[in-house]
Amino acid sequence: MARAERKTPGTAGKRRLTALVAAAGLGALVLTGCGGQSGAGDASASSSEAGGGDKTLRVSAAASLTTSFDQLSDEFEKDHPGVNVDVNYGGSSGLVQQLTEGAPADVFASADQKNMKKLTNADLTQGEPKIFATNVLTLVVPKDNPAGITSVQDVLDKKVKLVTCAPEVPCGAATQKVEKANGVELKPVSQENAVTDVLGKVTSGQADAGIVYVTDAKAAGDKVTTIEIPKTDEAINKYPIVALNKSEQPELAAQFVDLVTGERGQKMLKDAGFGTP
């Protein structure tokens, strides 16, 4: 089963933390050389005060947004000195379960509207969710394509190890729609709870083929070969984002949503292969 991935604070945050640790270590050495243990405590206090102004914005986001939201988080940190963006990536359904069970977060970005509606029905959102991107599916095979797959029909005719998303997550639900549209029944050897896990099994050679979003295929670069699936336009996923009403950083949460839905965010998402809202 897939587990949610976590993005640690961005490069700016890491540089601040490294600087603080280095400063604290140097201060401790200097003060120790002067023979005063109480001085080491003063250095520790100074270090604590230096980092006291930092804030953390917690974002829960669909796994298919990993590359784009890593970039958007770095942009946000540049625009907001002293703010670290901590992103929890995973399957949208799993993230919703975490949030409804009380997991702390300031922003939620889902890979479909169905899972977002669960949050709005639970009265956990601040305002109406905004659609900020769309996505469709594609078939990917490892770069060397050991099974010789050239079409979706090959997946049906040959004895290949196909991996898809589980039906309860957005990419899995979309896969079912594509199956229905094409009048076929796929027989995956495993179903994952995050699209990144599907891609990982293909790139590592554990699977002969996998169904992922076009954005994941693009992010994988030359690690995979992409094969078009017919009628994916009948299974377009719309991505909504919203600030959460229990956010400890409501202003920052609203500003992050604005970045994602604004001109800069939309350009970054388009460059990653996402469709427009």
Positions at the binding site for molybdate: 64, 92, 195, 213
Q: Is 254 helix (H, G, I), strand (E, B) or coil?
A: helix
Return the residue matching tokens 């049906």: 156
Question: Strands 237-244, 5-7: parallel, antiparallel or unpaired by DSSP?
Answer: unpaired
Reported as type and span, the H/E element at residue 200 is helix 195-203
Three-class SS of residue 239?
Answer: strand
**Side chain identity at residue 227, one-letter code:** I
Q: Which residue has the tokens 């899972």?
A: 115
Mark the binding-site residues, compressed into ranges: 64, 92, 195, 213
CA distance 77 to 73: 6
The DSSP call for residue 275 is: B
